[in-house]
Amino acid sequence: MKIVTGNDLKTGEVVWWDGQGWSIHITDAVDAGENADTIIATESASRRVNSAYAIDAEQTDDGPRPAHIKDRVRALGPTVRPDLAVPAADYVGWDWVI
């Protein structure tokens, strides 16, 4: 599946396209399919997201799992600071990242 991610323009928070808007939880991410470029263009132009890009991910029982470790780190937070993890990130656990 293709999912779309970026950062909130004002706060910088990592966000995921959930079909209508942007969520901080990767579990909300939906398959953007062929629409990724359109979503990125319109959402960037309206400044609801910054530096958005589409990535490959795998749909798993725990929700979408990005193909690249970089985006898995983005989804949860720094692996060395579990205390700063994205709220409710315990849904997948740190093994999910590596």
Partner 1 sequence: MYRYDQYDQAMVDARVEEFRDQARRRLEGKLTEDQFKPLRLQNGLYLQLHAYMLRVAIPYGTLSGAQMHMLADIADKYDRGYGHFTTRQNIQYNWIKLEEAADLLADLATVEMHAIQTSGNCIRNISSDHYAGAAADEVVDPRPYAELLRQWSSFHPEFAALPRKFKIAVIASEKDRAAMRLHDIGIRIVKTAEGTLGAAFYVGGGMGRTPMVAPLIREFVPLDRMVTYAEACLRVYNRHGRRDNKYKARIKILVHEMGAEEYARQVEEEFAHLLAQGVEPPAAELDRIRSFFQPPEFAVGLPEEADRADPDFALWLDTNTHAHKVPGYVSATISLKPVGGIPGDATAEQMHLMADLARDYSFDECRVTHAQNIVLPHVEIGKLYDLWQKLEAAGLGTANLDTVGDIIACPGLDYCSLANARSIPVAQKISRRFAETGKGAALGELKLKISGCINACGHHHAGHIGILGVDRKGVENYQLLLGGSEAEDVSLGKITGPGFNEAGIVDAVETVADLYLARRQEGERFLDTYRRLGMDAFKEALYG
List residues near partner 1 by CB under 8 A. Answer: 7, 9-14, 44, 47, 50-51, 67-70, 73-74, 77-81, 84, 98
Q: Smallest distance from the beta carbon of 15 to partner 1, in angstroms?
A: 11
Phi, psi of 65 (to 5 degrees): -120, 110
Quick one: 19 or 53, whose CB is closer to partner 1?
Answer: 53
**Of 53 and 91, which CB lies nearer to partner 1 in the complex structure?**
53
